[in-house]
A and B are shown apart, each in its own frame.
Chain A
Amino acid sequence: MKFKLAALLAMILPLILVLTGGTSLAKTKPAVTTQSSGPLVLWVDAPRVSAVKAFEKAYPNIKVKMNIINDNIGNDALEGKFQLFNEAGSGWPDAIFTVTNSDISWMTSTKIHYAANLTNLVPKKILNGYAPAANAACHIDGKVMCLRNDDAADVLWYNAKLFKEWGYKVPKTWPQYEALGLKIAKQHPGYYVGLIGDDYTFDRYFWGSGCPANSLVGPNTVKIDLQSPNCTRMVNLLDTLLKAKVLSTAGLFSTASNAVGKKLVMTPGATWYGEFEFNGPWKVPAGEISASSPLVWPGFPYTGDEGGGMWVMSSHISGTLRQDALKFIEFVATNPKNQVNLVPTFPAYGPDEQGWLQKNVVDSHYFVDPQQIVKAFKQAVKMVWTGHPYTEFDPDGIWDTTVVPALEQGKNLKQVWPTYQRELVDYAQLYGYSVKQ
Chain B
Amino acid sequence: MAASVIAGSPRVPKRKRALTHSAPAVVLVGPFLLVLVVAGALPAVYALVESLISSTTGGFAGLSNYLTVITNFRFLPSFGDVGLLLLVWLPIMVVGVVGLALLVDASRGRFGKTMLFVYYIPAALAGITNFMLWLLILDPNVSPIAFFWKALGQTSIDGLLSSPINVIWILAAMLFYEGSGSWLLIVLGGLHSISDEVIEAAEIDGCNQWRLAWRIKLPMIAPWIGYLVLMNFAYGFQIFLEPQLLAAAAQGILSPQWSPNQLSYTYAYSVGNTGAAAALSVILLIITLGLGVLIVTKTGLLERS
Contact = CB atoms under 8 A, between A and B. Distances in A.
Interface in A42-77: 72, 74-77
Contact of A255 (B46, B49, B141): B141
Contacts of A75: 248
B248 A27 contact: no
A11 B252 CA distance: 44
Contacts of B53: 23-24, 27
A20 B73 CA distance: 30
Contact of B163 (A27, A409, A432): A409
A83 B162 contact: no
Interface stretch (A163-171, A337-345, A400-408): A400-408
A28 interface: yes
Interface stretch (A246-254, A315-323, A326-334): A246-254
Given A15-B41, A75-B248, A256-B156, A28 B58 contact: yes
B70 interface: no
B162 A404 contact: yes
A239 B158 CA distance: 20
Interface in B123-142: 139-142
A19 interface: yes
Contact of A256 (B41, B74, B155, B271): B155
B253 A405 contact: yes
Nearest to A27: B58
Contacts of B26: none
B14 to A, nearest CB: 14
A150 interface: no
A249 B271 contact: no
B50 interface: yes
A404 B269 contact: no
Contacts of A27: 53, 58
Given A19-B46, A197-B158, A400-B252, A430 B271 contact: yes
Given A19-B49, A256-B156, A401 B162 contact: no
A113 B15 CA distance: 61
A20 B42 CA distance: 12
A199 B248 contact: no
Contacts of A23: 46, 49-50, 53
A106 B253 CA distance: 23
Nearest to B57: A27
A409 B272 contact: no
A15 B139 CA distance: 49
A79 B252 contact: no
Q: What class of interface size applies to chain B in its complex with A?
A: 35 or more
Interface in A383-430: 397, 400-401, 404-409, 426, 430
A75 to B, nearest CB: 7
Given A75-B248, A76-B269, A256-B141, A426 B158 contact: no
Contacts of A80: 265, 268-270
Contacts, number: 106
A401 B270 contact: no
B49 A16 contact: yes
Contacts of B19: none
A199 B252 contact: yes
A401 B255 contact: yes
Given A20-B49, A83-B272, A76 B37 contact: no
A256 B158 contact: yes
B159 interface: yes
B45 A16 contact: yes
A83 B45 contact: no
Q: What class of interface size applies to chain A in its complex with B?
A: 35 or more
Given A23-B46, A76-B256, A256-B141, A430 B72 contact: yes
A397 B252 contact: yes
A305 interface: no
Given A23-B50, A404-B162, A76 B270 contact: yes
A324 B266 CA distance: 35
B270 A79 contact: yes
B272 A250 contact: no
Given A27-B58, A79-B269, A83-B272, A404 B256 contact: no
Contacts of B255: 401
B246 interface: no
A111 interface: yes
Contact of B37 (A11, A74, A198): A11
A190 to B, nearest CB: 14
Nearest to A406: B162
B139 A253 contact: no
B157 interface: yes
A12 interface: yes
A364 to B, nearest CB: 29
Contact of B158 (A11, A77, A251, A431): A251
A79 B269 CA distance: 6
B251 interface: yes
A255 B138 CA distance: 12
Contacts of B270: 76, 79-80, 106, 431
A112 interface: yes
A245 B140 CA distance: 21
B254 interface: yes
Contacts of B253: 400-401, 404-405
Contacts of A405: 161-163, 253
B256 to A, nearest CB: 7
B251 A251 contact: yes
Interface of A: 11-12, 15-16, 19-20, 23-24, 27-28, 72, 74-77, 79-80, 83, 106, 111-112, 197-199, 249-251, 253-256, 258, 397, 400-401, 404-409, 426, 430-432
Per CB-CB distance, the 7 closest pairs between chain A and chain B, nearest first, are A80-B269, A408-B162, A27-B58, A256-B156, A405-B162, A255-B141, A400-B252
Given A80-B268, A254-B158, 17 more contacts: A11-B37, A11-B41, A16-B49, A23-B49, A24-B53, A76-B269, A79-B269, A79-B270, A80-B269, A254-B156, A255-B139, A256-B156, A256-B157, A256-B158, A404-B162, A408-B163, A430-B271
